[in-house]
Amino acid sequence: MSSKRVWVVSEIYYPVKTSTGYYMTEIAEYLAARAMDVHVLCTGSVYNNGEKRSRLNEESRNGVKVHRVYVPNIDKNNFVKRTLRLSLSSLLLFGKILKLVRNGDEVLVVTNPAFLILMMPLVAWIKGVSYKILVHDIFPENLVAIKRLSSSSFIYRSLKRVFDAAYSKAVLCISIGRDMSEVLKKK
């Protein structure tokens, strides 16, 4: 029987040095240094101009096996294009999760890309895994904060319902702040 693996799933990972890329790399390498079988699923996307992009679909780095899917470089500064980028990233990572993750593995997923969170209950059901969420952004509440949606709109209420259900199916939601913890408790 194969040993349990730990999967870290994130839109951004090394060599990208944004906060998400940095923290997810540190977490994965910390776990690998403790003799865990750690795999990362990520995109090959960069976040800022001039960042180094890995051209490898698979590689090992500091004891971590990294598996990448490639998403076209779509402008993250345009809201519609950013939504397309997040949708495509989520779908490609979802497909890779279904292909690689096996029953009993541990999964830690970050909230980027956002729509992947909606797919995680299905992953858990199909693959027989539980998942934990490291919450950097709370969806769809962040869309209200940036004034893209009104908290009274039908779209917001609908999104909130499905995101709340996905968050509630996680074994654990890890927040990065006190205020965020309060919002997650309500979910």
pLDDT in tens, 82-113: 888 889 999 999 999 999 999 989 999 999 89
Give the integer Cα–Cα distance in Å for 79 and 116. 18
Sort 72 into a burial class: Cβ within 10 Å, 0-12 / 13-18 / 19+. exposed
Task: Give the pLDDT of residue 148.
Answer: 85
Amino acid at position 34, single letter: R
Supply the pTM of this predicted model.
Answer: 0.85
Tell me whether the omega of the peptide bond preceding residue 140 falls within 30 degrees of 0, making it cis. yes
pLDDT in tens, 18-27: 888 899 999 9
Q: 31 with 6: CB under 8 angstroms?
A: yes
pLDDT higher than 50, residue 80:
yes
Task: Give the pLDDT of residue 1.
Answer: 39
Q: 67 with 98: CB under 8 angstroms?
A: no
pLDDT in tens, 110-162: 998 999 999 999 999 999 999 999 988 888 888 888 888 888 999 989 999 99
Give the integer Cα–Cα distance in Å for 58 and 13. 13
Task: Give the pLDDT of residue 50.
Answer: 60
Quick one: tokens of 145? Answer: 């904060």
pLDDT in tens, 33-75: 999 999 999 997 666 566 566 666 888 999 999 999 988 777 7
